[in-house]
């Protein structure tokens, strides 16, 4: 059984560390993780946490309106390509719309650009390098 539900920030840390920060000096604990406006989602398969994402109230200068930033989306390799990330984003969009948020944006890794495009996100600007994390592009979706 697959279930997407809200989780505590600390529950995201093992997957973030394994998939996003392995062999990196960048912390897997994000500024804003514990902010009152932040929330975190996890995908559970048979009660095992296999994917995570975090959502933080944050504005990007190029966008107008109320905004949240998606950070730290990661799915364990053996569960990738099964639509779990899509389900997580759909749940997040429901929550964000209830909060009257107009824009969801992220710094998307180059390898994930097509995934985000399929979910309705659009590119802004050129690729840029985040040391130890690789090439990224800003992407956004109007809610």
pLDDT tens for each residue of 82-117? 999 999 999 999 999 999 999 999 999 999 999 999
Q: Alpha-carbon distance 33 to 58, whole Å?
A: 12
Taking only the tens place, the pLDDT of each residue in 34-58 is 999 999 999 999 999 999 999 999 9
Distance CA 69, CA 106 (A): 5
Q: Do the bridges between strand 122-130 and strand 67-75 make them parallel or antiparallel, or are there none, so unpaired?
A: unpaired
Task: Say if CB 43 and CB 7 are below 8 A apart.
Answer: no
Q: Model's pTM, two decimal places?
A: 0.94
For residue 119, the model assigns a pLDDT of: 97
Q: The tokens of 138 are what?
A: 């800003």
Domain ranges for the chain, please list them: 2-142
Domain 2-142 has CATH 3.40.630.30: yes
Which conformational region is residue 100 in: left (phi greater than 0), alpha (psi within -120 to 50 degrees), or beta?
left
Instruction: Confirm if 122 and 99 have CB atoms less than 8 A apart.
Output: no
Element (H, E) at 62: none
Distance CA 30, CA 71 (A): 9
């Amino acid at each position: 059984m697959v279930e997407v539900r809200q989780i505590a920030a600390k529950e995201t840390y093992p997957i973030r560390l394994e998939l996003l920060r392995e062999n990196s000096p960048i912390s897997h604990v994000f500024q804003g993780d514990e902010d009152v406006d932040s929330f975190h989602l996890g995908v559970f398969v048979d009660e095992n946490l296999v994917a995570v994402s975090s959502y933080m109230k944050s504005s990007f200068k190029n966008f107008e309106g109320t905004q949240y930033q998606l950070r730290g989306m990661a799915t364990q390799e053996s569960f990738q390509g099964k639509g779990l990330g899509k389900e997580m984003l759909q749940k997040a969009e429901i929550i964000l719309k209830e909060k009257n948020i107009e824009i969801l944006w992220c710094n998307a890794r180059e390898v994930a650009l097509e995934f985000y495009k399929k979910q309705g996100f659009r590119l802004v600007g050129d690729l840029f390098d985040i040391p130890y994390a690789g090439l990224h592009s800003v992407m956004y979706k109007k809610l």
